[in-house]
Amino acid sequence: MSIQTAAPMTVKQTSHCCFCSMQCGMELVPGDDKPGLTIRPSPIFPVATNRLCQKGLNALDHVIHEERIMTPLRRPVVTNAAEGKRGSVDPNSAWEPAAWDEALPEIAERIRDIQHRYGKDAVSVYGGGSLTNEVCYLLGKFARVALKTRYIDYNGRYCMSSAAAAAGQSFGLDRGMTMPLSEIKNAKYILLAGTNIAECQPTMMPYLLEAKKNGAIIVTIDPRNTMTSKSADIHVRLQPGFDSVFVNGLLHVMIHENLYDRTFVNERTHGFAELAAAVETFTPAKVEEWTGILESVTRTIARGFAKAETGIVLTARGLEQQSNGVENTKNYINLALLTGKIGRPGCGYGAVTGQANGQGGREHGQKADQLPGYRSIEDPAAREHIGNVWGIDPAELPGKGVSAYEMLQKIDEGEIKAMIVIGSNPVVSSPNNRMVERALGKLELLIVVDLFETETARYAHWLLPGSSFLEAEGTLTNLEGRVFHRAQAMEPPGECKPDYCLICELAEQLGEGAYFRYASAEHIFEEMRRATAGGKADYSGITYRRLKEEQGVFWPCPADNHPGSPLLFADRFAHPDGKARLFGIQPKMPAEPIDEEYPYILTTGRVGSHYLSGAQTRRTSALMKKTPVPVAEIHPWLAKRIGLGVGDFIRITSRRASLVFSVKVTEGIQPRTVFVPFHWGGELSVNRLTIDALDPVSRMPEFKLCAVKIEAFKQEAN
C-alpha cells in the first residue's frame, strides 16, 4: 500500500501538539541557532493562538529520539508442546529484527490459530485516546470486521468515561464542553472542580485569566493547593471522596434560598423534586461537620454562582476517577442546570478532556459498547446503518465487550489469549498494575504498536514501529468539540508506517482486505462521515476542505452547509423530549475507606512536565530535568506524625503493594491525604498501589482514592 508523504520542508510545516486536549497549533521551522528544526506556536490557529506549553515546545524531542523503534521486532517464544501452543516471552530476552513481509503474515497466522482454537473473542484490541479520528474509526472497524471480536476498548476509559456517562444521562449527549473556549471570558463565576488546568492544560489558563480580568470569580475545588488554585478567588480544599456531599450543600442553599432559575427548571428539565428531596438534609452546617468546609464558604459559593449573570462549571479527573465518578459529575452538572447556566453565551458545563483526541477517540468505535457517531452497538437501527456503510450483514457485528481494565482481567482469567495494543501503555496507566503485568505475561500473543519499548512492550511478542504525530495526517477533536485537520509534517523514519496503513495491511493478511482499501487518511474520513451521519456525534457535514479553510468545525454538523455547533443546548437538550435531567444524588462511601490499619488517603494526578504514562516525556531531556522522579506530597501534620526527618523518604503501603518515594512537605494538601504523580513505571509507578474498584456505570477505576499507611524511610547511602 502506498502512503502519502509530506512535501520537503521549505519554510515551515504546520501541525498540532500531541499532548493534551487543547491541541494547540504549532509550526516546525528551521532552527535559528542550531541545525535542524524547532517548534513555534501557531499565530493563526484559533485555540491558544501563539501559545504552547513546555511540553508542546519540546514535542519534537521524542520524535527524533535515538530509542525510537524503526523496524518490526519480535522475541522468541517458548513452545509448550504438551498443550500445542506458544507460551509467554521472557521480558529480558533480546529483540530480533524482522521485515514487514515477514512480520504481518506471521502475526496474522498466529491470530488465526488462536481464534481457531479458542474462538473469535480470544483476540482483543486496546486502543488509545491520542490516535487520530481516522485511526480510532479504523481500529473499531478492524476489531469487528477483520477480527470479528467484541473485545475492544481504549485508554480513554481511564480518562473520560465517567464524564461521558454523566453528560449522556443529564443532557442526552456527551461533548466535553457545551460551549467553545472563547465563551470562558464571558463567564462571571467559574467553578473548577477536580481539575488542575495550570499543569494539565496550561494554555487554557489565559482564557480563565481573561475572565478574571473581566470581573469573574474563580473557585477551585481540590484536595491540594495547585498552580491553578493560586489564581482562584476561593479555594475549597476538599478531601477526596466528598464531592457530592459538598455539591449537595451548594444545591441545598440554592433551593432553600430560592436562588435557582425556576423558569428554566420548569420548562427545560425533569427531576427537580427528586433533587430537592436528596439535598434536603445537606445543610451547610451538616456539610461543615462532614467535610470541614466552613458553612459560610458553602453559602458564599452557592449564592455567588446562582446570582451571577453568567457562569461555567468545569470538572476533570479529580472527581471523575472514583467509583462514584458518574454520580459526582452529574451533581456538578446539576449546578449548571439548576441555575439555568447552559445554552447561552458565557454559560455552560465542561468536562476538561485529558488526552489529545480524548473526545474523538470515544466517538467512533473504540469503546466496547459504541459504533461510530456515538451509536450504541446494541441498537438494531445503529447496527443496520453501520452494516450498510461497511458492506456487511448487521448480524455479523459482534455484541458489546467490556471496559479496558476488565479486558485485562479477562486475560488474567484465561478468556482472552491475544491482544493488540496501539497508542497506549496499560502497564503504567492501569490501577493495581501488578495484576496487569501478570496478565500480559499469560498471553499467547501480544502485539504492541508504539514509538518505543514501553513498559507494556516488555511483555510483547511483537513490537511494531508506529508513526509519531508529525508523521501522520488526520483529524482530531479537541476538548471543546472542534474537529480540525492535522497535516503530515514529516516522513516516517526507517520502516515506520502510518498507523492506518499498518491496520489495513494486517486486515489484508487476515483475508479481510476488501473492507480496508483506502488511498489516504482523507479516504477513511469520507467513509467515517457516512458512518456518523444521523448519529449523535454527526460529522457528515465536515470535509477536509472545510477543516483546512475554517480552522476547524464544531460537531454536530449534519450537512455540508451547516455552520457547526459551537454552543450546544440553546433551545433543547438531546433527550427525545428536549429536556435535561436533574438527579438527586445520595453520596456513597469510597470502595476502600480508611481504617486503623490504613488511615490515610492516597490520590494520584499529573505534573506539568509530564504526560500520561511518560513514554514520550520521560524521553525528553528538558522535561526530565525539571521532574526526574515522582515526589509525594504530604502535610506537615502527617510528616510530624510519622517522624519524618531531614533527607528521609516515605514508604506508602496499600493492600496491594508498598513503594518508596521522595517526599515534599507542604501545607497545601489535606492533612490525611498524600499525592503522588503517576507518569512513571516500575518501582516508581504509583499505580502499583491504587485499587481496581470500578464505577458501576462508566467502569472507570478509582484512581483518586485508596487507603494507605505511610512511614518515614531512610534511604541507605550507596
Residues in a beta bridge with 420: 125, 447
* Pair 292, 246: CB distance under 8 Å: no
pLDDT (tens digit per residue) in 174-212: 999 999 999 999 999 999 999 999 999 999 999 999 999
pLDDT value at residue 47: 96
Q: What is the CATH number of domain 73-159+364-466+496-541?
A: 3.40.50.740
Domain with residues 13-63, CATH architecture: Single Sheet (2.20)
Going from N- to C-terminal start, the domains of the chain cover 13-63, 73-159+364-466+496-541, 161-351, 600-713
pLDDT lower than 50: segments of the chain? 1-10, 81-85, 718
Q: How far apart are CA 590 and CA 708, in angstroms?
A: 13
Pairing of strands 580-581, 462-465: unpaired
Q: How big is the chain by its Cα radius of gyration, in Å?
A: 25
Specify the CATH architecture of the domain 600-713.
Beta Barrel (2.40)
CATH 3.40.228.10 fits 161-351, yes or no: yes
How many angstroms separate the CA atoms of 526 and 43, rounded? 29
Any bridge partners for residue 665, and if so which? Answer: 634
- What was the pLDDT predicted at 84? 42
Q: What is the pLDDT of residue 30?
A: 85
Q: What pLDDT shows up at residue 80?
A: 55
* 307-322 pLDDT, tens digit each: 999 999 999 999 999 9
Domains 13-63 and 600-713 share a fold: no
Q: Is 640 helix (H, G, I), strand (E, B) or coil?
A: helix
Half-sphere exposure of 437 (CA within 13 A, CB side): 15
